[in-house]
Amino acid sequence: MDIVFTAATVRYGGRVALHPLDLALCERRIGVVGLNGSGKTTMARLINGLVKPSEGTVTVEGLDTVTDEKAARGKTGFIFQNPQHQMILPVLAEDIAFGLKNRGFTKAEIAERTEAILARFDIAHLARRRVHELSGGETQLAAIASVLVTGPDLLILDEPTNQLDLRNRAMIERTLAGLPEQVIVITHDLALLDGFDRVLVFHAGRLAADGRPAEAVAAYREIAAC
């Protein structure tokens, strides 16, 4: 899927959070890194309309995220740093079904899709579990299932391995590697980026480096050392 930023700028009052960005993305696995406040999350949130450009445009498969907001947002899914915060209903299966109800699926279709996504991520045994009882890794898998059940082509994740132990981190790494959907990952977990197609480095609201993981991470380490 093609994502195109054309002079996309974000301002909050007098502060520029993201300077004019011209960028085209189409790779299957894209990492985004940068110091806190560098503009990386702002850039990612532009893609599905959670943030609107103050100037310029962002398009997803040719759909403008402002003028074609609903259609563009339907192509993307976003998982926040704390995925439990975006779970609306207390029981996992009900939460997964909720997104489908809002899109007008029939009861039979909802049941079929919910069952299929639980099986896809091997979490059918968690279907009746309350979301606040899930472990960190289970919560991340549940959030991925809840987003992908609606069929987006692109999944954006903000710090998906944050506060996970080694076992759960490895599980999420394997899950992301196996997804057929296009994935953009915002992360401080630099090892997670091994094998990615492309890594973007943001600094002070600007794109500072763009390349293969090794060279991009090296550039980021130089920035972080200053």
Residue 66's CATH number: 3.40.50.300
The sign of the dihedral angle between the CA atoms of 115, 119, 125, 129 is negative
115 and 5 in a common domain = no
195 and 125 in a common domain = no
Q: What is the pLDDT of residue 226?
A: 82
Distance from C-alpha of 215 to C-alpha of 120, rounded to nearest angstrom? 34
How many distinct structural domains can be found in the chain?
2
206 and 191 in a common domain = yes
126 and 110 in a common domain = yes
CB atoms < 10 A from the CB of 84, how many? 14
Q: What is the pLDDT of residue 7?
A: 98
Q: Residues of the chain whose pLDDT is less than 70?
A: none
Please work out, in degrees rounded to the nearest 5, the angle formed at the alpha carbon of residue 129 by the alpha carbons of 124 and 132: 130
145 and 195 in a common domain = no
12 token code pair: 């909050």
